[in-house]
Amino acid sequence: MLRETIRSLAEAKIAPHAAAVDEEGRFPREALDALVASDLHAVHVPEEYGGAGADALATVIVIEEVARVCASSSLIPAVNKLGSLPVILSGSEDLKKKYLGPLAKGDAMFSYALSEPDAGSDAAGMKTKAVRDGDFWVLNGVKRWITNAGESEYYTVMAVTDPAKRSKGISAFVVEKSDEGVSFGAPEKKLGIKGSPTREVYLDNVRIPADRMIGEEGTGFATAMKTLDHTRITIAAQALGIAQGALDYAKGYVQERKQFGKPIGDFQGIQFMLADMAMKLEAARQLTYSAAAKSERLDGDLTFFGAAAKCFASDVAMEVTTDAVQLLGGYGYTRDYPVERMMRDAKITQIYEGTNQVQRIVMARNLP
């Protein structure tokens, strides 16, 4: 029922704008409005804070179905979870009440600020600093590749509070867009997900109350890594949706396109491509749903499964979308058809929330 609900919403309210959102590189306001109106913009927020209280699998299905028609729009529910999960996992009761309520209502979005110009895969090498000043912390630094930056009201920001301790000297904070000293760079010009703004976040003597620290001092990096164990599965879900959208379109196309007097879908070479696409996509889906169940149960092997789902599903998405472009031939290479957009959108799923090379390192260190 959830899948049917979100699919009909996505097809009616989000799909019609997907091409324009990509072409114009604009934030998908129609998608945000439609998701908020149906309470599907941040389904993961627990009921006690006004949220829908959806489990990890339900959240995955929402993201997957939105991504099937528009990858940029699927980053609304995905990044709302990424940005707010540190607060859910490690925040004080006061912080949860203050920030999860507006998120659940749709009054605010939540972004996640971990990466920096010189700290990507080596996130512990970050330079952003937070210095204690009485009842406040003062933050200075630059965060890069921040999804939905400028659109979100709230940001989970990781900053160094004790440089001598490397990863154990990093703390997490909630920063608000309206805090004095917060500003944003120009939107990046990207290959795909053009409807989701990616910008630098500048922190220039941003002074925030001490109670905006998430968890204890020095636990920020551990919270960041724990968050990614759960949210990598949402990127796997996004990859699944993109791949499913491309497969669905290609499947319809090969039944209509005729060559040599019959639909190209009647040729075995085409059938084998479609069979491989569907087989790999279904394998990725089962791995992703299994990882989502582990996320919900907090299983001990979640780190491996989260990395495996994200890595496998994104590799499959890149393969399936590339094959979909091939199946449409010359038409697939034009912007008149949606598969080239899906192919461009799929690429980022192999890169963000930890490159697939990093996922393989994570898997190797956490073999079940």
Residue positions annotated with a catalytic role: 353
What phi and psi values does residue 288 have, to the nearest 5 degrees?
-65, -45
Distance (Å, whole) CA 18 – CA 192: 12
For 44, 80, 138, 297, 308, the CA distances from 302, given in Å and listed in that order, are 18, 21, 35, 9, 10
Q: Tokens 């031939």 belong to which residue?
A: 329
What phi and psi values does residue 50 have, to the nearest 5 degrees?
90, 5
Cα dihedral sign, 366-71-331-347: negative
Distance (Å, whole) CA 54 – CA 27: 25
Q: What is the residue-wise DSSP string for 95-126?
A: HHHHHHHHHHHTS--EEEE--BTTBSS-GGG-
Q: Are 327 and 273 in contact (CB under 8 A)?
A: yes
Distance (Å, whole) CA 272 – CA 283: 16
> 191-208 burial string, b = 16+ CB within 10 Å, else e?
ebbbbbbbbbbebeebeb
CA atoms within 13 A on the CB side of 158: 31
**Which two tokens mark 316?**
């499959």
Residue 138's DSSP bridge partners are 131, 207
Q: Residue 74: which residues within 8 A CB-CB, separation 6 or more?
A: 63, 64, 66, 67, 237, 238, 241
